[in-house]
Amino acid sequence: MKSKLTAIFSCFTGSITIITRSACILFLLSTLSLSVFSQSRTELLFTDGWKFFKGKNDASFAKDFDDKNWKSVKVPHDWAIEGPFDKEIDKQMVAIVQNGESKPSEKTGRTGALPYIGEAWYRKTFQLPGSIKNKRVILQFDGAMSEPKVFLNGVKVGEWNYGYNYFFIDVTDQLKAGENNVLAVHLSNRPKSSRWYPGAGLYRNVRLIIKAEQSIAQWGVSITTPVVSSTFAKVNIKTKISAPGATLVTTILDQNGKQVALDSAKTMFGNEADQNIKIQNPRLWSPETPELYTAVSRLYLGTTLLDQVTTRFGIREISYQAGKGFSLNGKVRKFKGVCLHHDLGPLGTAINIAALRRQLMILKDMGCDAIRSSHNMPSLEQLELCDELGFMFLAETFDEWAKPKVENGYHLFFDTDAEKDIVNLVKATKNHPCIVMWSAGNEVPDQFGAEGVKRAKWLQEIFHREDPTRPVTVGMDQVKATMASGFGALLDIPGLNYRVHLYDEAFKAFPQGMLLGSETASTVSSRGIYKFPVVKAAAKTYPDFQTSSYDLEYCDWSNVPDDDFVLQDDKPWVIGEFVWTGFDYLGEPTPYDESWPSRSSYFGINDLAGLPKDRFYLYRSRWNTAKPTLHLLPHWNWAGREGQVTPVFVYTNYDSAELFLNGKSLGIQKKSKATPQNRYRLMWMDVKYEPGTLKVVAYDSTGKAVAEETKVTAGEPYRIVLDADRKSIAADGEDISFVTASVVDKDGNPCPTATERLNFEVKGAGKFKAVCNGDATSLEMFDKPTMKLFSGKLVVLVQSTDKQGNMVLKVSGKGLKGGEIELTSK
């Protein structure tokens, strides 16, 4: 890699193998005929048939025990999400150094106040036919929280420390063909081991892979594109195999399944085949055109097919150059990104593709084109969806290195595990075209001193060794220290977390010729809650433990969005930003770390239920250049504020707009550079509240009225309204429809302050899964079919069963006309 990053980085996507649906797996593992495993390779998801027990570390649980009273669960599974919330669960006396604290104080909601701490066992019995005696059998864990120890038939076959990493174990020698096999996994979550809700259990998929003795290595296919143009691309495929004398044949298919290339490996280099294949007129991958190809790698001994692996990839070229910044396929662009923690709100950390897809579609509508996995390794499903939907990805590794942030954090394993954790991350994910950069860490205390510089260099070189096609960054908050030590100068890409006042100084000090806003804003707000007077303020708190949706409140160490917008627009050497955060997450309830009840974040552009806050439209007005944005705030139900100043903001990608209250014009506002807020928002600061109709009319550059939005003072709540993100879902027992419930008055006007309790019932081919209202102070459990509205809304999750058919969600509330919606599973 060239020191000034004038090199071009290219790469592709992750591998896909045959994955059987959960309903079929149970059949396969119990009644499978011997001929099924004559296939070259089979991959099964171990979803059903698990028993779960939360308790002590008893070694006998690995093999023989009475589990009749254990709970039957499906994996992925988060044992803690059902609660209850309890301030005593992870109460800590601690000073959060990252937040500038010097004296310890009591923190009660830092890890979500959910019961993730403790030990637990998962156990599954399965049987495979005698034909596997000539096969190799691998168990792959996509993530297990945490410190998993794996036993097969009473024998410990492997372990891993980092709960966010993927790992696999060859269990061929311990497996009993044609007999019952007992798989047991012990997990241990220590107190004071995280700065957010980490979840608990086998929260990602467990896979069983059966392949030939002579085969392609697990994660053994590596695809890059050293040459990319509009007329042709050179695809390089390196494949690690264990089959002397075998022939490797690779077929490349386009997105429609049409063959576009065929190549047989001409030369073997030890245990690796190296193929260079030309693709004519390639369709390039980008967020706007997420075109994907599939490489089918077939390994033959004579005419016998030994193994087959399919790898999905994209053809794209990435470049980072001083004075030019980041380019994708030859076009300069800036990252319009958000940071995401791994929990899925009311589902906890258990992976669910429908929930992940919904998050990404919401972000897509906002104009977001990049994701940073914070502060851990992403799920394979998230990366696959980012490939499909078109999101660039900054894949992160650790929140700690050798120096601790929390007592039982990753620093306990850093010296022994960091290298193997990075190796597994890169090997498992390097073919994903969405990944455009690696992050070796986030705000690590090791930013100070020579030892930290050495660690940064060591980690970066591991990434370079495993993947020379992508650069490496670190999210730095101690910018002055990294200037002095050389820490920031050695990174491929210097990443700044906040510190907007140091951007110019850092750019002059660092030699890379560019800076990345690796973490920006950390503005706080509660959906639909507005506080007065409206002033820009740091660390502002209120008796109700909410924050204001005027989007002017932030932390002592952070800033409002507009401060970052100025840097992105005015500094060509700033290559983009990753906003903290795209969605609220469980834990870290800043600025209420010391307050109870407060158990989830306020940083999200969308709330914990996935409902957009006002800030969503501020970002959309900048990022979504394909569609118009016109958003008016606050709501207009302010009984008791008659005659009082109630400022009105408009977030829009139009330059000017006129505000009307009950038909009277309150004037036209135009964007200006007077302040960062005037540059990106239209603000009427002197509006005095009176009930009625608030309307904004937007004008285009010629002065023509082109759009309008109104807010009406609503009457008493009267009727429940339901709106589903999808009315048709898959009958696989996993798919989810997210139904937004709100209330309106007799005239159909939304009631933005409603807090009525609603009750939920699902009949037919579906079931109630969870509910969330986005209130960070709510202690109501997600898995109970009742919850209060927050700011007039909540979201109900309806999950399919394995049966096709119709289902009906009925929602009721005292004194309200009930709502009903019909959904279908196919």
Please give the full DSSP string across 318-371, using - where no structure is assigned. EEEETTTEEEETTEE--EEEEEE-S--GGGTTS--HHHHHHHHHHHHHHT--EE
Mean pLDDT of all residues in 102-119: 90
- Contact, 777 vs 597, CB < 8 A? yes
Q: Retrieve residue 199's tokens.
A: 């979840």
- Contact, 812 vs 720, CB < 8 A? yes
Question: What was the pLDDT predicted at 13?
Answer: 34
Mean pLDDT of all residues in 31-52: 74
Whether 630-712 and 719-825 share one fold: the answer is yes
3-class SS of residue 498: coil
Q: Nearest CA to 49 among 72, 16, 21?
A: 72
Least confident residue range of 3-17, 39-53, 61-75, 76-90: 3-17
In the chain the first and final C-alpha atoms are separated, in Å, by 50
Please give the full DSSP string across 442-488, using - where no structure is assigned. ES-GGGSHHHHHHHHHHHHHHHHHH-TTS-EEEEES-HHHHHHHSHH
The single-letter code of the amino acid at 385 is L
| DSSP for residue 533 | S
Q: For the segment 766-815, what is each residue's pLDDT rounded down to a tens digit?
A: 999 999 999 999 999 999 999 999 999 999 999 999 999 999 999 999 99
Per-residue pLDDT for 30 more than 50? no
Q: Nearest CA to 773 among 589, 601, 610, 587?
A: 610
Cα–Cα distances in angstroms (integers) from residue 789 to residues 82, 611, 795, in the given order: 20, 13, 9
Least confident residue range of 93-97, 298-302, 543-547, 700-704: 93-97
3-class SS of residue 53: strand
* Separation CA 158–CA 782 (nearest Å): 34
Class of the CATH-defined domain 319-613: alpha beta
Q: Which residue has the higher pLDDT, 758 or 2?
A: 758
Helices (H) and strands (E) in the chain, counts: 11, 52
* Separation CA 372–CA 377 (nearest Å): 10
Cα–Cα distances in angstroms (integers) from residue 602 to residues 42, 50, 521, 541, 615, in the given order: 44, 36, 12, 12, 12
Per-residue pLDDT for 755 more than 90? yes
Question: What was the pLDDT predicted at 512?
Answer: 98
* Separation CA 6–CA 445 (nearest Å): 30
Angle (CA) 243 245 248, round 5°: 70
Per-residue pLDDT for 291 more than 70? yes
Q: For the segment 263-284, what is each residue's pLDDT rounded down to a tens digit?
A: 999 888 989 999 999 999 999 9
Query: Does 159 qualify as catalytic in the annotation?
Result: no
Q: For the segment 683-720, what is each residue's pLDDT rounded down to a tens digit?
A: 999 999 999 999 999 999 999 999 999 999 999 999 99
How far is CA 25 from its chain centroid?
27
Mean pLDDT of the chain: 93
The single-letter code of the amino acid at 469 is T
Q: Nearest CA to 167 among 196, 195, 199, 209?
A: 209
Per-residue pLDDT for 32 more than 70? no
* Burial status of residue 183 (CB atoms within 10 A of its CB: 0-12, 13-18, 19 or more): buried
Q: For the segment 354-412, what is each residue's pLDDT rounded down to a tens digit?
A: 999 999 999 999 999 999 999 999 999 999 999 999 999 999 999 999 999 999 999 99
Cα–Cα distances in angstroms (integers) from residue 350 to residues 76, 231, 488, 503, in the given order: 5, 43, 36, 38
Q: Which of the following is catalytic: 317, 400, 519, 553?
A: 519
- Where residue 778 falls (left for φ over 0; alpha for ψ -120 to 50; beta otherwise) is beta
Q: For the segment 153-163, what is each residue's pLDDT rounded down to a tens digit?
A: 999 999 999 99
Question: What was the pLDDT predicted at 40?
Answer: 81
Q: Nearest CA to 813 among 758, 772, 745, 733?
A: 758
Name every residue whose Cβ is closer than 8 Å to that of residue 21 and which is 6 or more positions away in sequence: 45, 732
Per-residue pLDDT for 36 more than 60? no
- For the chain, the structural domain boundaries read 16-212, 218-317, 319-613, 630-712, 719-825
Question: What was the pLDDT predicted at 105?
Answer: 81
The pLDDT-based confidence of 20 (bands split at 50, 70, 90) is very low
Q: Nearest CA to 249 among 300, 304, 293, 212?
A: 300
List for the chain the helix, strand, coil content (%; round to 5).
Answer: 15, 40, 45
Q: For the segment 660-669, what is each residue's pLDDT rounded down to a tens digit?
A: 999 999 999 9
Q: For the segment 325-349, what is each residue's pLDDT rounded down to a tens digit?
A: 999 999 999 999 999 999 999 999 9
Question: What was the pLDDT predicted at 102?
Answer: 75
Q: Nearest CA to 682 among 662, 698, 703, 693?
A: 698
* Burial status of residue 310 (CB atoms within 10 A of its CB: 0-12, 13-18, 19 or more): middle
Query: Does 553 qualify as catalytic in the annotation?
Result: no
Per-residue pLDDT for 642 more than 80? yes
- Contact, 566 vs 577, CB < 8 A? no
Q: Which of the following is catalytic: 384, 400, 443, 577?
A: 443
Question: What was the pLDDT predicted at 782?
Answer: 98
Q: For the segment 439-470, what is each residue's pLDDT rounded down to a tens digit?
A: 999 999 999 999 999 999 999 999 999 999 99
Per-residue pLDDT for 306 more than 80? yes
pLDDT above 70 coverage of the chain, percent: 94
- CATH number of 16-212, picked from 3.10.129.10, 3.30.930.10, 2.60.120.260, 3.40.50.1400: 2.60.120.260
Say what angle helices 380-389 and 353-366 make with each other, to 10 degrees: 40
Q: Nearest CA to 475 among 433, 427, 424, 441?
A: 441
Question: What was the pLDDT predicted at 97?
Answer: 74
H or E segment and range at residue 808: strand 805-813
Class of the CATH-defined domain 719-825: mainly beta
Superfamily of domain 630-712: Immunoglobulins (2.60.40.10)
Question: What was the pLDDT predicted at 537?
Answer: 97
Q: Which residue has the higher pLDDT, 708 or 106?
A: 708
Per residue, the 3-state secondary structure of 592-607, as one string, reads CCCCCCCCECCCCCEC
Q: Nearest CA to 443 among 397, 390, 382?
A: 397
Q: Retrieve residue 290's tokens.
A: 């997420």
CATH 2.60.40.10: does it fit domain 218-317?
yes
Per-residue pLDDT for 24 more than 60? no
Per-residue pLDDT for 559 more than 70? yes
Max CA separation in the chain (angstroms): 88
* Separation CA 444–CA 56 (nearest Å): 33
Cα–Cα distances in angstroms (integers) from residue 404 to residues 661, 801, 824, in the given order: 55, 44, 50
Question: What was the pLDDT predicted at 692?
Answer: 98
Per-residue pLDDT for 208 more than 80? yes
The pLDDT-based confidence of 580 (bands split at 50, 70, 90) is very high
Question: What was the pLDDT predicted at 39?
Answer: 61
* Separation CA 345–CA 359 (nearest Å): 11
